Structure 1
């Protein structure tokens, strides 16, 4: 393997597959899994992630935007793709031509999408978003919306395949989540009473899949849970096991001795309390190790925790390696395991004041991605160079 940079991210597809299997074990056999792969599959490389998940029988995928959907369609002809967010009317034609299912949450968009599809002589699949308490997008769960959806259901070039809502505090506020679910189900039942039977009802996101199994309905939308984050909720289910699929690594690029009182990095915020040894690591906030972590985290070198010191730079950061027998070129683990030590991504996310979902999305495409399959490194992708190397 020829690494194109001395910092990289390793993504374990074996763990991804096992995570999907664990998710499947929580739901009924007939429950549809709509794999959420927005934001470049949460930063892990959407094409390889989708290919892996598709290979184990998942055919439905969801993204946030139409450009994400078209990127997938250009690679995968046969999968079903749903855009969960807003699509402006000037992009409707692209959605119809590429067989992308869109989310609809207002009458005007539905009418314009129907007109666009009719001009192309095609029928487009839509899912209806229902507002139940997130207050983001969706038809209000009221009588006016029932009438609007009844009108939409008569449009000849729209196929209403699904209807969904989104929990705002699954796993955090049971009472509010129960209220949202009841509001959603009551609305769906009223539609059914009007003769509008929508095949796929879905409301469960990652945390809800674990916490409210009875709410899984016709489909579920696993997102960050696929990649290994449950915020500790896996303890609620005996035998449920998932693992974070990524490790972030680098190499030591420079080592130097500094005297007591010398300063390190921008702003002179770190002052050496005694004579010590500083190693430079060629990874920084532009790669996803956000500046808020400055002086708060450790890295692993030679199986030991070494504290990061000074302000994290755009492309580099410094760590104190006093007493560690290391040299230039040695492996550094920022997220992952080395020896008997481990640094979880949740540790970094917590210290940055973020959730794992957002923290993983920070990992830049400047970091080459090394994919592991069948316990072997099998593919290297460097997006900055458009370079892919298959290793076996």
Structure 2
């Protein structure tokens, strides 16, 4: 069966099953489904619509433009869209008018939000820097941020929805210290007259491993895509299913003699007469050059290592004397149920994490969304996309 030149099949049923399972683990705590980076490369709109159909009412999308994309396809205001990385020149009016939740970490940004308010108050989450040092207000800046937020809320300009932070997940001790700092900042805010209704600090790993950090809501990303973050733990160990399967089709085969140098720099040479299969997907599509010798791909239920340098648009596989033909499916990674590599295996082999692998898969790789597509708004969206 041909895989097409290159494609990523996104199993929406698997995403929904993962979502249902994770929500059962977190119950009664709310789950915010994180979908930054175009839903980790899986396609924002169909993933979001699947989550909404499953009953999710909080989605994190990093930026305001991504949130507005979801409002534009009919994700209503009953679903809270949380954003926290803002362009310094962003006009917040559209976000406020569309009830997009805005993570805020400094007074300058909060002033810009307050100034943009027109018909309705802005929904704001106040960020605390608890040690990751990417986002959030420092302890020194927190009081000024809280006082400004308190006054703006009293004036009806904003609604303070929550306080949040992000953990470094460096060690249990570091995370415990970070949460203690966050708790102290929330207490300070309340002493200053600002009531904090919601708190969220834990993402995927801490949400699973540290129940006491779940607070009112857990931000779940990688687990929902079947990519667990705990060392030595596979998706199957947790009952999760990887959502993305990346494949290509054999484009050419070539019989070559013993000692043939393969691809750039001849870093691989054949040790017998053999057949080389050309796979039309390369580092421009997200296959790292470092994959040579570390990654195996599956053809006809058998694994083969990548032979020679990965090029921009292609790589080669030494298939020996096996009957591999043009058009045969080459599975780079998938669920692992048929013996193929998983994205978690790719991450370990390449000294990185599965999230980086799926986020690297480029736009030339066609996304094909399967399962759940006949239902409700998901089906309507996908049918419209294909027409």
1:329 aligns with 2:327: yes
Q: Which runs of 4+ in 1 moved over 6 A?
A: 233-236
Return the match for 2:149 from 135, 152, 155.
152
Change beyond 3 A, Cα 1:103–1:87? farther
In structure 2, the gaps of 5 or more residues are none
Q: How does 1:171-190 map to 2 (within 5 A)?
A: 172-190=170-188
Kindly provide the CA deviation profile for residues 150-195 of structure 1, in whole angstroms up to 9, marking residues without a partner as x: 23211131111111000111xx510001001111112112222333
Return the match for 1:45 from 21, 43, 46.
43
Counterpart for residue 65 of structure 1: 63
Q: How does 1:59-98 map to 2 (within 5 A)?
A: 59-78=57-76, 79-98=79-98
SS in 2 for 1:24: helix
Are 1:126 and 1:162, in contact at CA under 8 Å, matched by a contact in 2? yes
What's the TM-score, normalizing by structure 1? 0.89
Cα distance in 2 between the residues matched to 1:43 and 1:239: 24
Are 2:49 and 2:75, in contact at CA under 8 Å, matched by a contact in 1? no
Change beyond 3 A, Cα 1:90–1:52? closer
Are 1:228 and 1:242, in contact at CA under 8 Å, matched by a contact in 2? yes
Are 1:167 and 1:180, in contact at CA under 8 Å, matched by a contact in 2? yes
Cα distance in 2 between the residues matched to 1:97 and 1:69: 12
Aligned pairs, how many?
Answer: 377
Are 1:89 and 1:113, in contact at CA under 8 Å, matched by a contact in 2? no
**Higher strand proportion (structure 1 or 2):** 1
- Deviation of 1:76 after TM superposition, in Å, equals 2.8
Change beyond 3 A, Cα 1:343–1:77? closer
- Deviation of 1:374 after TM superposition, in Å, equals 5.8
Q: Which has the higher contact order (CA 8 A, sep 6+)?
A: 2
In structure 1, the gaps of 5 or more residues are none
1:19 aligns with 2:15: no
Cα distance in 2 between the residues matched to 1:112 and 1:198: 21
Cα distance in 2 between the residues matched to 1:21 and 1:174: 27
Moved more, 191-200 or 172-181: 191-200
Q: How does 1:1-392 map to 2 (within 5 A)?
A: 5-29=4-28, 31-78=29-76, 79-117=79-117, 120-142=118-140, 144-155=141-152, 156=155, 157-169=157-169, 172-232=170-230, 240-336=238-334, 340-373=338-371, 388=386
Kindly provide the CA deviation profile for residues 329-363 of structure 1, in whole angstroms up to 9, marking residues without a partner as x: 11111102678523111111222222111111011
SS in 2 for 1:69: helix
Are 1:255 and 1:327, in contact at CA under 8 Å, matched by a contact in 2? yes
Cα distance in 2 between the residues matched to 1:252 and 1:372: 23
